[in-house]
Amino acid sequence: MEFLTLESLCSEIIDCPHSTPKWLDEGIPVVRNYNLVDGHIDTSNLSYVDESTYLDRIKRAKPEEGDIIISREAPMGVVGIVPKGFKCCLGQRLVLLKVDRSKCDPQYLLYALLSNIVQVQIHRIDLTGSIVSNLNIPDMKKLLIPMVNENMDKVGGYLQSIDSKISNNNAIAQQLEAMAKTIYDYWFLQFEFPNEEGKPYRSSGGRMIWNEELQQEIPEGWTSTRLKDIIVENPKSKIKVSDVKNDGEIPFFTSGADILSTNESIVSGLNCYLNTGGNADMKYYYGEASYSTDTWCITAENETKYILPFVLNKIKPSMDKVFFQGTGLRHLQKNLLREYQFCFPDSNVVKEFSKLASDIFKKQHYLLEENEKLESLKQFLLPLLMNGQVTINEK
């Protein structure tokens, strides 16, 4: 197998501006280290600058479709590729690679940089003894890139097609989640669930009754209930976060932002996972899962379980102020949350909503399972394609 230096495969390798701009809530996106995720640019948490700052930051080079962005530190060696029509500039500690397309396909180079062959080289530089890991430009230029002899563009295209399928599945899963939330809001907050004629209940003249406990009007036949009356508390976990190796296929929920993985499940089906310490948060998941000692895992009986995530989701914005208390390290006050009072529908509405919600959760679960298989396939093929053990058939 032939190896060529990164420098020889690029027409330009341009360091980013070494200055922090004035951040704005909207404007032109700035790609920062944390936006580089698994070879793409994550646009869910972008920072922005104005037009004049953008023009100043692209004086050395303008990011264009197919350019690769690689981080020099914190962490070093993460990469992403600039998609079509994405106007952006670079934050600090990033480098822009202008790929010479007469020598290398940009998608191929992206996956080569993600491969263990190149990542090992990058992390060897971490052994230089410096306090902060830093991939400097001279060392970056010397990185040896494995070059397959033929069908280079097909290798990059094949791996990219797997990533595209994963992205599409994620987008569909997010749309399904948004759809479920919209239906819940429409039915349970605006009281526009279908009446006997299939028309929106409230706007079609459905009878509303004043509820003294909730201090509001609710549909006839609906009641006021407390969270403790519907939840089922799963057994307390004995697994500490420090004991989890993060090397399994089953999600492991903690009181932190990250979801780890393990090989043993505690629960299955639809469950909600609440932080009991640190920052207030609630996650829900359909499928086999496990959780840490500092995570409160709850569900509900029968069809009611499909309502619970949405009830808790509505509490989330106020959860930190209302239900987390204590001096120093604050904790979730479970008894307070158990007493939370809300409007509960009649059995027919519960049944109809559960049919819709369960179908959505099952579809989401299928998509996420498919993504796990696709990601495993990609990780299996990546080193084999890069070292030439596997080739892409011309047909």
101 and 6 co-located in one domain: yes
pLDDT at 73 over 80: yes
pLDDT at 10 over 80: yes
- Tell me the CA distances in angstroms from 64 to 6, 24, 67, 112, 253, one per residue in order: 19, 22, 6, 20, 39
Residue 352 lies in a domain: no
7 and 141 co-located in one domain: yes
Residue 293 lies in a domain: yes
Residue 9 lies in a domain: yes
Prediction pTM value: 0.85
Identify the domain containing residue 303 by its residue range: 223-343
Residue with tokens 């595209």: 164
Mean pLDDT of the chain: 93
**Residue 132: its pLDDT value, please?**
57
pLDDT band at residue 126 using 50, 70 and 90 as cut-offs: low
Among 96, 117, 147, give the residue marking a domain's end: 147
7 and 136 co-located in one domain: yes
**Per-residue pLDDT tens digits for 213-255:** 999 999 999 999 999 999 999 999 999 999 998 888 899 999 9
* Choice among 27-31, 126-130, 176-180, 188-192 with the minimum mean pLDDT: 126-130
125 and 230 co-located in one domain: no
Please name the residues in contact with 42: beta carbons below 8 A apart, sequence gap of 6 or more: 34, 35, 36, 80
pLDDT at 129 over 60: no
Residue 375 lies in a domain: no
| Structural domain total, the chain | 2
99 and 229 co-located in one domain: no
143 and 54 co-located in one domain: yes
**Per-residue pLDDT tens digits for 380-392:** 999 999 888 888 7
137 and 10 co-located in one domain: yes
Q: Between 394 and 387, whose confidence is greater?
A: 387
For the segment 357-368, the average pLDDT, to the nearest whole number, is 95
Residue 269 lies in a domain: yes
Residue 300 lies in a domain: yes
**Packing angle of the helix pair 347-386, 106-114 (nearest 10 deg):** 90
Among 128, 147, 166, give the residue marking a domain's end: 147
Measured in residues, the chain has a length of 395
**Per-residue pLDDT tens digits for 312-324:** 999 998 888 899 9
136 and 234 co-located in one domain: no
110 and 239 co-located in one domain: no
Residue with tokens 């939330």: 181
For the segment 68-89, the average pLDDT, to the nearest whole number, is 94
**Per-residue pLDDT tens digits for 256-312:** 888 999 999 999 999 999 999 888 899 999 999 999 999 999 999 999 999 999 999
- Tell me the CA distances in angstroms from 312 to 93, 137, 184, 305, 317, one per residue in order: 39, 49, 12, 11, 10
14 and 143 co-located in one domain: yes
141 and 6 co-located in one domain: yes
Which span out of 72-76, 202-206, 313-317, 381-385 was modeled with the highest average pLDDT? 202-206
Residue 119 lies in a domain: yes
Residue 231 lies in a domain: yes
30 and 139 co-located in one domain: yes
CATH of the domain at 118: 3.90.220.20
Among 90, 119, 147, give the residue marking a domain's end: 147
